[in-house]
Amino acid sequence: MKKNLLKLIIVLSFGFIFLNGQTANAQAYKEGDNLIHVGVGFPSLYSQSVSGLDGVTSSGLPPIYGSFEHGINEHWSVGGYLAYTSQSVRYNEQFINFNTGTITTGTWGWDLSIFVIGVTGDYHFATDRKSV
């Protein structure tokens, strides 16, 4: 499942890059423009690196984000953004109780979910077709 999701993200990312490259026009930024950005990031490198270890499983949702900007003049825009990601890691471990001589087996792990909301202000350098 994880490998299929990662392959899908990679294929879609390259598809959007090539599709965008074929249809892109040099457009200047101007006052009153509304810009929308959406994206998907790479999965957590930590959870991907530990998932191959013996007794360790990990899963998660790659970072998903979106933002909106509104041009207040020919160089500046203001807006907001949202982002979300989650990770889960579980591992099995055995402990020896030296007082009793017994072996205890347990499953431990952690879950992490991050939701980000914020405001943004951006400066745009290219304001005419000649500088794009």
**What is the pLDDT, as a whole number, of residue 18?**
55
The answer to whether 100 touches 107, Cβ cutoff 8 Å, is: no
DSSP result, 39-71: EE-PPPHHHHHHTTSTTEEEEEEEEEEEEEEEE
Q: Give dist(CA 46, CA 9) in Å, integer.
A: 18
The residue that leads in pLDDT, 26 or 32, is 32
**What is the pLDDT, as a whole number, of residue 131?**
46
Please measure the distance between the N-terminal and C-terminal CA atoms of the chain and give it in whole angstroms.
41
Q: Give dist(CA 18, CA 6) in Å, integer.
A: 18
- Strand pairing partners for 97? 102
Four-residue CA torsion sign, 31, 17, 4, 108: negative
* pLDDT tens column, 54-110: 778 788 888 899 999 999 988 899 999 999 988 888 888 887 888 888 888 888 888
**What is the pLDDT, as a whole number, of residue 70?**
93
Give the CA distances from residue 38 to residues 66, 82, 84, 86, in Å, rounded to whole numbers and listed in that order.
4, 10, 12, 18
**What is the pLDDT, as a whole number, of residue 130?**
56
**What is the pLDDT, as a whole number, of residue 26?**
52
**What is the pLDDT, as a whole number, of residue 132?**
46
The residue that leads in pLDDT, 109 or 131, is 109
* pLDDT tens column, 108-129: 888 889 999 999 998 887 666 5
Beta-strand relationship, 102-123 and 76-97: antiparallel
Q: Give dist(CA 105, CA 102) in Å, integer.
A: 10
Cα angle: 47, vertex 42, 77; to 5 degrees: 135
How large is the average pLDDT for residues 24-48? 76
The residue that leads in pLDDT, 22 or 64, is 64
Residue that the structure tokens 């990679």 belong to: 10
